[in-house]
């Protein structure tokens, strides 16, 4: 894939400005405050303090902010592990996310219920938009280092739209449950991205191989991303579950799943290494698989016991995937998965869908009582048996995989056009293609520079 | 500006201890728990759980913590972009903020309402103190690298006091609205700091020019600051708005403004660069201008549409300011603005004030309903028309600019006295003036050291 | 202490897997959702929104997340100050914490009240488990750089159990108050760790001395930890206090204590340095002592005035401890305290216990009113006088010191067995013993590498 120029001088401004202007116009036409954010509607009633505290803001905004941190710090810094791609990792993550959350608000609004032709926004739409954005960022992880920011914005346009359609099919047509997005976010984002990277396959990527690895400090920056994702995953999975025990239980289950996952990750990371040394790639990624794998079942009565089993298995398959599967995917299937999203989001996402289906199949009134109303409303309303719910969950996984793979295939070919300023094979994983990188001449450390200067003098002397 | 000594051995301890002792004495004399933090007063009633949850802590503490992160991590790390000033950026930010929040509690308490001669404290005073602190840190950004910590503490003493007076004039005398502080915090802090740095003008600052730039890792550290400021700005602007739809709407408006601002920032950053490369200075700063620019109007019925327009324009003028205005300010007006606070806080702050005034002028009962009570109480109570409110908003901007410029002028001259241990022109932007800096001898990386050692041997051999 | 091998190939997987399997089995046998997380129990009542918002999740989850950040980011990054131990600091912190929080849930559950033989879990157990984990991480700080991850997991097994017993004695038998854990967490963790490191004394540790210090960037990473701990300490101390004024007051007191502590830290750090330069070790650690020192009294009517005095003194003794006491402890008592936990957690913890006792002694109905019920229930119920409460507080300190020292002694000898793969004296404070460390060959900075390559050529030429 050779482009005429990697300069973003015109491409990026044109794309950003056109997209933002379209967004602003569409927001002007169809977006309204919802009842909880509109001064007139909310204050129609003379509310007491307690009633004001029932504003959805108070139950959901702390969760939103945790999710927001995961999207911008978590995903952004997780990808800074590359030695010379930190600006792009954090910076393009920032750009793509800022665009996607606006576009997702519109697409999800269109599909999940207009109010007299208007989209109503509030903290719940903010969380949902961030969720959709997360999916795009997962796909970004698969192609990291090999694409231009313009390419990523084009990808986001299509992926957000497809995400919203898939989400609509799952949640509104199939009546599946997926509060933490094992299917809608992780499985979709991973397989979409894997297909895109397959289509964008670069046979000569080894020309940039020396840059496709970490250095000491870049791995520490990446750990900032990892730890934030790990800590706030309970908030992610519980952010849009029902108010009351549901949010509480989802956070709890996710917390236990992640803790068990972490021990599995350390165990298998040491085990698969010949010298028994731990590998930062595993710790940074596989320790998070437990959050992905309870994305569907987290709100259900999975129990801490069940959550820990799921987390332990997720960490295990994720490490094994990094060790044994990723090299095969690259050599045999020509899938160059920079961040290994197949191991962190793909397989654990599928596992999460299956765990969700099994847990749904086991749902009974004796366990859920009236709580069935929030967790499985179709079962509560006798529209579904627990088995039907389970089937719908598995059907949702199949739909998601299909949408992701076909969507990724088409979008991959769109992104293959040589017009987006993608980097040449020799300059992948390199910030200086798209960024003014400081200190090129002097070294990034004054002290080193000083010393080098001395040495140079000695050399000359 | 030459000082006799930059040693902080006596200066800093004396200033810190004297200030803290005075603070402690004043707190002992005049500060009391408010009704929500006092055991006796709160528990006077036999409260139910719901009533206990009405304690202001629950509505405001999450916002407070987000603001707190912005002050200490956000501002602190944003300023670590300089290659050799990371300790001072985070460390002096920490010191100045820890002092300012205590002092602000007193000054704001004196001016915004004593209760029988006592200042009442609780989560709202904590947020307000952090807000005032933010203003001081903005000014710190203007003089970054050129001042001693003692100088900054002296500046904080005066700036906090003036901030409180200005805030009092705006909110209590003029009845202006400014929940997110476009005027009180950003405009005031920026122009105060710009005037201080003007008075402290160093004609020979280019002696430290090689240190007044970033290196690769310092830019990544700075992005931690940027992203946290960006994510939590919705909490900042909504932290002290009324409970209910007001907080919710303010957060939402800010979120959209920032998202649009980010796209504008990337667009114009690429556009103004000859090679079409993105500039970290723009991304780190201009992407935040959208939060500043809806600081006043964020709580109003600005709509997402309006917020996005404001954010887009703010990002645009901020990038253009960095590119075209900052060099002119330095060469023509002798304003050495290290962090470019004029572009991030100055112009967007003024813009925010104007947007606030326009939005106030457009306020009508048909849009706000009873919600007018919280957003524009004077209009609701028929003391003001919407136009009067708009005039008061603009008058507030004028007062703020006047207070900031005159205050900055006077304080600048006070800070010019050669007694505070400011660094010489040759040692600006340099941590080792005030800090024990590690690894001076060995280089900051063991590996590099090892290699260098080898090389030295080769050289000798 | 020489081990046969530092390879973790079998040791670590066996220990992690065995421990996690045992945890999963025990969780399966004895752990249940509590009333606030169980679908059936919570939804037994037909709750309104307001009643759903009474779910403990809403009052405590934001605090929990702040505590969680302190445990994983705060402690983890605080310890990255060492130049070549960043992976281990963050990574082992992560592993130990993920194990400890599961194990603590069981131990605390067994001791603090079974429900028909079952442990009930929810957000409060999550906070308590994180608290116990904090204690283990404090001990980790004492032995940092000198132990293997297996050793740390073994230490955690015992320390968590002892922590739970000590906590039970203090809170349930002696009816002491210690919401922020000055005694249970800080004093216990510090003296336990100090005794362990005493037993593990390495006479030849100076062989690794060149690595037992910071470099420029590692100190900046450590500041991330420091600032997060500092900001969220108000949430830590208030996380499990009673809902209402108690949480509010505790956060407020802690906030003021920390602010005052910070000024004392800067003052004394400059004062004790011959050149009047600030020392990052002091800033990173001593500025936090104010949070430790109000861990017990923070929920009491300490007043902002009292909090600031306590914070100021805590910062002072902490800096003086780093400067004058730590070297003596090492040379005379053979206590090699890597992070100086004695200065940050030990002395301030003891001080916090004493402050708590004095504040308890001063408790009176005229100050607390009915609020006495939550702060000192035994005094409110006339079981104790205020003096008795004060005595119980001091007795608690004595018990804690005894438990910590004896426990640390025994566990130290267990950890001395040469079977855990501890590093040799020559490879302490070195990541590459346990981690695949990148860039060993090429230097961690591409730019440097490029330059070095050029230089090498010149050398050859």
Residue ranges of alpha helices (H) inside A31-148 are 39-42, 49-52, 56-69, 75-78, 86-111, 123-143
Is C213 an interface residue toward B (CB < 8 Å)?
A: yes
**Closest in A258, A278, A448 to C435, CB measured:** A278
pLDDT category at A4 given cuts 50, 70, 90 is low
d(CA A349, CA B29): 60
Is B12-49+59-434 a CATH 3.30.1540.10 domain?
A: no
d(CA C143, CA C346): 14
φ, ψ at B146 (rounded to 5°): -120, 5
Q: Over 50: is that where the pLDDT of A458 sits?
A: no
Residue contact C39–A264, C-beta within 8 A: no
- Best of A63, A65, A252 to substitute, by most chain C Cβ atoms within 10 angstroms, is A252
Is A451 an interface residue toward C (CB < 8 Å)?
A: no
pLDDT category at A450 given cuts 50, 70, 90 is very low
- Best of B216, B281, B370, B457 to substitute, by most chain A Cβ atoms within 10 angstroms, is B216
Coil, strand or helix: which one is C388? helix
Residue contact B221–C220, C-beta within 8 A: yes
- Residue A56 Cα distances to A17, A49, B359, C180, angstroms: 33, 14, 25, 31
Q: What is the pLDDT of residues B403-424, one digit of tens each?
A: 999 999 999 999 999 999 999 9
Residue contact B33–C249, C-beta within 8 A: yes
Burial of A414 (0-12, 13-18, 19+ CB in 10 A): middle
Q: What is the pLDDT of residues A155-201, one digit of tens each?
A: 999 999 999 999 999 999 999 999 999 999 999 999 999 999 999 99
- What are C345's strand-pairing partners? none
The four Cα atoms A397, A401, A402, A408 give a dihedral, to 10 degrees, of 150
Upper half-sphere CA count for residue A410 (Cβ side, 13 Å):
9
Arithmetic mean of pLDDT, A312-320: 98
Q: Over 90: is that where the pLDDT of A395 sits?
A: yes
Q: What is the pLDDT of residues B111-163, one digit of tens each?
A: 987 999 999 999 999 999 999 999 999 999 999 999 999 999 999 999 999 99
Nearest-Cα distance to chain B for A282, in Å, is: 23
Nearest CA-CA partner of A101 in A3, A192, A31? A31
pLDDT score for B364 = 97
Spatial contact of C389 and C179, defined as CB atoms under 8 Å apart: no
Is B450 an interface residue toward A (CB < 8 Å)?
A: no
**Closest in A50, A220, A270 to C9, CB measured:** A270
d(CA B232, CA C350): 36
Nearest CA-CA partner of C99 in C142, C127, C130, C63? C130
**Closest in B36, B38, B444 to C216, CB measured:** B444
Tokens of B223: 């992005």
Nearest CA-CA partner of A89 in A435, A448, A458, A451? A435
- Residue B343 Cα distances to A222, B337, B369, angstroms: 30, 10, 37
Residue contact B220–A121, C-beta within 8 A: no
Contact residues on chain A for C122, CB-CB shorter than 8 A: 248, 252
- Which residues does chain C have with pLDDT short of 70? 1-4, 440-461
Nearest-Cα distance to chain C for A156, in Å, is: 31
pLDDT score for C4 = 58
Spatial contact of A123 and B252, defined as CB atoms under 8 Å apart: yes
Residue contact B273–A95, C-beta within 8 A: no
- Residue A206 Cα distances to A201, A203, A212, angstroms: 12, 8, 9
Spatial contact of A352 and A299, defined as CB atoms under 8 Å apart: no
pLDDT score for C448 = 37
**Cβ neighbours around B373 below 10 Å, total:** 16
Nearest-Cα distance to chain C for A294, in Å, is: 16
Give residues 95 to 134 of C whose Cβ lies within 8 Å of A. 95, 98-99, 101-102, 121-123, 126
pLDDT score for B4 = 58
State the DSSP code for A31: E
d(CA C424, CA C446): 31
- Residue A238 Cα distances to A232, A244, A253, A370, C98, angstroms: 10, 11, 10, 19, 20
Coil, strand or helix: which one is B119? strand
Residue with tokens 């136009």: B387
d(CA C73, CA C76): 5
Q: Which of B126-159 are b and which e, b meaning 16 or more Cβ less than 10 Å from the residue's Cβ?
A: bbbbbbbbbbbbbbbbbbbbbbbbbbbbbbbbbb
d(CA B361, CA B297): 11
pLDDT score for C357 = 98
Upper half-sphere CA count for residue A226 (Cβ side, 13 Å):
30
The four Cα atoms C204, C206, C212, C215 give a dihedral, to 10 degrees, of -160
Contact residues on chain A for B287, CB-CB shorter than 8 A: 94, 98
Residue contact A11–B276, C-beta within 8 A: yes
Residue contact C219–B438, C-beta within 8 A: yes
> Which residues in C123-262 belong to E strands, given as ranges?
none
Spatial contact of B414 and B154, defined as CB atoms under 8 Å apart: yes
Residue contact A73–B231, C-beta within 8 A: yes
**Closest in A54, A244, A447 to C42, CB measured:** A244
Contact residues on chain B for A16, CB-CB shorter than 8 A: 263-264, 266-267
Give residues 64 to 83 of A whose Cβ lies within 8 Å of B. 65, 68-69, 72-73, 76-77, 80
Contact residues on chain C for A249, CB-CB shorter than 8 A: 33, 37-39
> Which residues in B272-322 belong to E strands, given as ranges?
none
CATH code linked to domain C11-39+55-432: 1.10.3430.10
Nearest CA-CA partner of B228 in C224, A328, C333? C224
pLDDT category at A112 given cuts 50, 70, 90 is confident
pLDDT score for C46 = 86
Is B227 an interface residue toward C (CB < 8 Å)?
A: no
DSSP labels, C136-148: HHHHHHHHTTSS-
Which uninterrupted H or E stretch holds A17?
helix A11-30
CATH code linked to domain A11-48+56-440: 1.10.3430.10
Residues 6+ apart with CB under 8 A from B47: C244
Is C48 an interface residue toward B (CB < 8 Å)?
A: no
d(CA B10, CA B286): 39
Residue contact B249–A94, C-beta within 8 A: no
Q: Could you report how far apart the first and last alpha carbons of chain A are, in Å?
A: 47
d(CA A356, CA A294): 8
Q: Over 60: is that where the pLDDT of B3 sits?
A: no
pLDDT score for B5 = 87
Residue contact B258–A98, C-beta within 8 A: yes
pLDDT score for B12 = 97
Residue contact A213–C87, C-beta within 8 A: no
Angle between helices A386-416 and A149-168 (to 10 degrees): 160
Tokens of C20: 């996690």
Residue with tokens 């050149």: C275
Coil, strand or helix: which one is B120? strand
Q: What is the pLDDT of residues B232-280, one digit of tens each?
A: 999 999 999 999 999 999 999 999 999 999 999 999 999 999 999 999 9
Interface pTM (ipTM) of the complex? Answer: 0.94
Q: Which of C135-158 are b and which e, b meaning 16 or more Cβ less than 10 Å from the residue's Cβ?
A: bbbbbbbbbbbbbbbbbbbbbbbb
Q: Over 80: is that where the pLDDT of A459 sits?
A: no
Q: Is the dihedral of CA B58, C130, C409, C323 positive or negative?
A: negative
Nearest CA-CA partner of B100 in B80, B63, B126? B126
Contact residues on chain B for C245, CB-CB shorter than 8 A: 36-39, 41-43, 55
Is A434 an interface residue toward B (CB < 8 Å)?
A: yes
Residue contact A275–C53, C-beta within 8 A: no
In terms of residues, how long is chain C? 461
- Residue B357 Cα distances to B176, B311, B351, B360, angstroms: 9, 16, 10, 5
Residue contact B259–A76, C-beta within 8 A: no
d(CA B164, CA B122): 18
Contact residues on chain C for A304, CB-CB shorter than 8 A: 27, 31, 33, 121
- What are A120's strand-pairing partners? A32
Tokens of B422: 């400011």
d(CA A157, CA A26): 14
Give residues 16 to 35 of B whose Cβ lies within 8 Å of A. none
Is A433 an interface residue toward C (CB < 8 Å)?
A: no
> For strand B31-33 and strand A119-121, is the pairing parallel, antiparallel, or unpaired?
unpaired
Contact residues on chain B for A69, CB-CB shorter than 8 A: 231
Nearest CA-CA partner of A173 in A360, A403, A404, A395? A395
Q: What is the pLDDT of residues A120-141, one digit of tens each?
A: 999 999 999 999 999 999 999 9
d(CA B110, CA B161): 10
Tokens of B68: 């707190």
d(CA C27, CA C20): 10
Nearest-Cα distance to chain C for A349, in Å, is: 22
- What are C33's strand-pairing partners? C121
Tokens of A221: 């920056």
Q: What is the pLDDT of residues A29-76, one digit of tens each?
A: 999 999 999 999 999 988 999 999 999 999 999 999 999 999 999 999
The four Cα atoms A147, A233, A167, A23 give a dihedral, to 10 degrees, of -60
* Residue B59: closest C-alpha in chain C: C59
Give residues 133 to 192 of C whose Cβ lies within 8 Å of A. 149
**Closest in C13, C52, C123 to A268, CB measured:** C13
- Residue B156 Cα distances to B93, B127, B339, angstroms: 11, 17, 18
């Amino acid at each position: 894939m050779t482009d005429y120029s990697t300069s973003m001088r015109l491409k990026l401004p044109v794309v950003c400005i056109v997209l933002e202007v379209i967004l602003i116009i569409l927001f002007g036409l169809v977006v309204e405050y919802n009842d909880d954010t509109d001064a007139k509607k909310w204050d129609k009633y003379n509310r007491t303090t307690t009633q004001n505290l029932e504003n959805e803001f108070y139950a959901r905004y702390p969760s939103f902010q945790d999710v927001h941190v995961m999207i911008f710090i978590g995903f952004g810094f997780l990808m800074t592990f590359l030695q010379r791609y930190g600006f792009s990792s954090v910076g393009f993550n920032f750009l793509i996310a800022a665009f996607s959350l606006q576009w997702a608000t519109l697409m999800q609004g269109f599909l999940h219920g207009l109010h007299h032709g208007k989209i109503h926004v509030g903290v719940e739409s903010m969380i949902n938009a961030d969720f959709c954005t997360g999916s795009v960022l997962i796909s970004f992880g698969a192609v990291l280092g090999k694409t231009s920011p313009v390419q990523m914005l084009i990808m986001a346009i299509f992926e957000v739209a497809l995400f919203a359609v898939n989400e609509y099919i799952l949640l509104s047509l199939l009546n599946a449950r997926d509060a933490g997005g094992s299917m809608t976010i992780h499985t979709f984002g991973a397989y979409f991205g894997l297909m895109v990277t397959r289509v964008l396959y670069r046979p000569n990527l080894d020309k940039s191989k020396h840059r496709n690895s970490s250095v000491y400090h870049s791995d520490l920056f990446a750990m900032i991303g990892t730890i934030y994702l790990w800590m706030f995953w309970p908030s992610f999975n519980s952010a849009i579950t029902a108010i009351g025990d549901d949010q509480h239980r989802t956070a709890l289950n996710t917390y236990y799943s992640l803790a068990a996952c972490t021990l599995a990750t350390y165990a298998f990371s040491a085990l698969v290494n010949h010298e028994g040394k731990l590998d930062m790639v595993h710790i940074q990624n596989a320790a998070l698989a437990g959050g992905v794998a309870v994305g569907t079942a987290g709100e259900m009565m999975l129990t801490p016991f069940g959550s820990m089993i799921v987390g332990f298995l997720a960490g295990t398959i994720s490490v094994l995937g990094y060790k044994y599967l990723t090299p095969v995917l690259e050599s045999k299937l020509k899938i160059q998965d920079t961040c290994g999203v197949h191991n962190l989001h793909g397989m654990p996402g599928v596992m999460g869908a299956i765990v969700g289906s099994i847990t749904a199949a086991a749902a009974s009134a004796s366990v859920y009582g009236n709580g069935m109303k929030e967790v499985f409303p179709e079962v509560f309303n006798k529209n579904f048996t627990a088995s039907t719910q389970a089937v719908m969950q598995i059907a949702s996984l199949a739909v998601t995989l299909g949408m992701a793979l076909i969507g990724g295939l088409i979008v991959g070919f769109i992104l293959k056009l040589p017009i987006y300023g993608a980097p040449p094979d020799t300059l992948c994983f390199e910030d200086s293609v798209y960024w003014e990188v400081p200190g090129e001449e002097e070294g990034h450390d004054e002290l080193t520079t000083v010393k080098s200067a001395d040495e140079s003098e000695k050399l000359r002397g």
